[in-house]
Amino acid sequence: MIRAGLIGYGLGGMAFHAPLIHAVPELELAAIATSRADQVHARFPQVRVIDADALIADPSIELVAISTPNDSHFPLAKAALEAGKHVVIDKPFTNTVAQAEELDALAKARGLVLSAFHNRRWDGDFLTAQALLASGRLGEVLNAELRWDRYRPEVTTAWRDIPEAGSGILADLGPHLIDQALQLFGTPEALSGDVAVQRPGALTDDYFEIALHYGKRRVILSACRLIAASRPRFSLHGTRGSFVKSGLDPQEPSMKVGGKPGEQREDPAFYGVLTHGDGMTETVPTLEGDYRHYYSGVGQAIAGGGEPPVTAADAILGLRIMDLARQSSAEGRRISL
């Protein structure tokens, strides 16, 4: 087993990283760096709680997972790589492309695994959409929409609402939506971005819409904090039919309240609907999502010397698209990749 340490025990560390590392046979959750020792020991009594410097310096720890405020991702990851550790970084991978490229070069020079935690590749709705595309039942998909809506009208003191590097909804939800689109359709030829601040008193972006251009195909990615009646999470429209799926994967809400990874099953009421070209419809059961596959893949990459399930190159492309979306929005024009 590969001994892993986690830095950060906020929402990401508590609901995702710690239980997932603990759940996979390839890894052992050995230590967590946090000020919340009581919360850690209530759930993981055997895990040591130490500070970040001690965790990185511990020679017995091979893998360091980073789930901390966005502006600390780069310095912590750099320190861990320089100490000879394999590294997983929560999204956004870093705040700039240059930082990400520096980490990627450092990891390659040291022969270390460096991966971005894009766990939404293992959402059940995404896996279902991916399978439908591969099956050909939709025909050629020319219009697709991936949306992630929330209703958060109040401006808070959370990092998302504080005007600093790594804040805003594009940095928060953009990495997941962009990564899913890249997995489904590949790298676009061009994009058009619209990034805005809509809520009264808000100082960071709380709305974005990015149109990815693939020849005649258009893929729309969007998120907003002022939509109470959420739009469908996936809408795929092809020459043979359409697939529309609402709701969010049940893994996150379950794991937030202590549910074990792999136990979640989606309510059939949220299954997507496939509408054929002749107007006939059928319900499509959602495939089972399982975030454990991410950390299993990381463990296997460390043990076998292969690529992790999400590479640094994957994250760098996503960061570039986010930068170009901001540029497109500011300049009011379509930008080629």
Q: For position 44, which CATH number holds?
A: 3.40.50.720
Whether 95 and 142 share a structural domain: no
Q: How far apart are CA 78 and CA 239, in angstroms?
A: 47
* Domain presence at residue 137: yes
| Confidence (pLDDT) at 211 | 98
184 and 253 belong to one structural domain: yes
Residue with tokens 């309240």: 257
Beta strands (DSSP E) in the chain are 2-7, 27-33, 48-50, 63-66, 86-90, 114-117, 141-149, 190-196, 207-214, 217-224, 234-238, 241-245, 272-276, 281-284, 335-336
Residues 112 and 135 in one domain: no
What pLDDT, in 10s, does the model give residues 253-270?
A: 999 998 999 888 999 999
How far apart, in whole angstroms, are the C-alpha atoms of residue 105 and residue 236?
37
Pairing relation of β-strands 63-66 and 86-90?
A: parallel
User: Mean of the pLDDT values across residues 223-250?
Assistant: 97
In a domain, 71, yes or no: yes
pLDDT of residue 262: 87
If we measure between CA atoms, which residue out of 185, 180, 179 comes closest to residue 133?
185
Q: How confident is the model at residue 325 (pLDDT cuts 50, 70, 90)?
A: very high
Does residue 159 surpass a pLDDT of 90? no
Are 80 and 9 in the same domain? yes
**Number of domains forming the structure of the chain:** 2
Q: Which of 96, 115, 75 is nearest to 319 (CA)?
A: 96
Tell me which residue range forms the domain holding 252.
120-290+321-336
Residue 305: which pLDDT band, with cuts at 50, 70 and 90?
confident
**Backbone region of residue 254 per phi and psi (left: phi > 0; alpha: psi in -120 to 50; beta: other values):** alpha
**27 has pLDDT over 90:** yes
Based on the domain organization, do 52 and 172 belong to the same domain?
Answer: no
pTM: 0.96
23, two tokens: 């759940």
Let me know if residue 315 belongs to a domain. no
- Tell me whether residue 309 is in a domain: no
Quick one: 231 exposed, middle or buried, by C-beta within 10 A (0-12, 13-18, 19+)?
middle
Query: How many Cβ atoms are within 10 Å of 300's Cβ, its own excluded?
Result: 18
pLDDT at position 251: 95
- Give the pLDDT band of residue 164 (cuts 50, 70, 90): confident
Which of 114, 113, 111 shows the shortest CA–CA distance to 89?
A: 114
Residue 59: what pLDDT? Answer: 97
Pair of tokens at residue 182? 């890249």
113 with 138, same domain: the answer is no
Residue 213, domain CATH: 3.30.360.10
Provide DSSP, 70-124.
GGGHHHHHHHHHHTT-EEEEESSS-SSHHHHHHHHHHHHHHT--EEEE-GGGG-H
Look at residue 214 and tell me if it is in a domain: yes
- 33: pLDDT strictly greater than 90: yes
* Cα Rg of the chain (Å, integer): 20
For 6-13, what is the mean pLDDT? 96
Give mean pLDDT, residues 85-98. 97
Same domain, 80 and 144: no
- Same-domain pairing of 141 and 277: yes
d(CA 112, CA 77): 12
Same domain? For 218 and 93 the reply is no
d(CA 92, CA 172): 7
Backbone angles phi, psi at 211, to 5 degrees: -100, 120
Taking only the tens place, the pLDDT of each residue in 202-225 is: 999 999 999 999 999 999 999 999
Residue range 228-241: mean pLDDT, rounded: 97
d(C-alpha 146, C-alpha 184), whole Å: 11
Same-domain status, 180 and 80: no
Q: Does some domain include residue 102?
A: yes
158 and 97, same domain (yes or no)? no
Same domain, 42 and 128: no
Q: Is residue 169 part of a domain?
A: yes
Looking at the domain assignment, is residue 50 inside a domain? Answer: yes
243: confidence class by pLDDT, cuts 50, 70, 90: very high
Q: Which two tokens stand for residue 152?
A: 């958060």
Helix (H, G, I), strand (E, B) or coil at 147: strand
What DSSP letter does each residue of 277-306 carry, written as one string? TTS-EEEEPPPPP-THHHHHHHHHHHHH--
Quick check: 17 pLDDT over 90? yes
Q: CB within 8 A of 330, min separation 6: which ones?
A: none
At 165 the pLDDT is 85
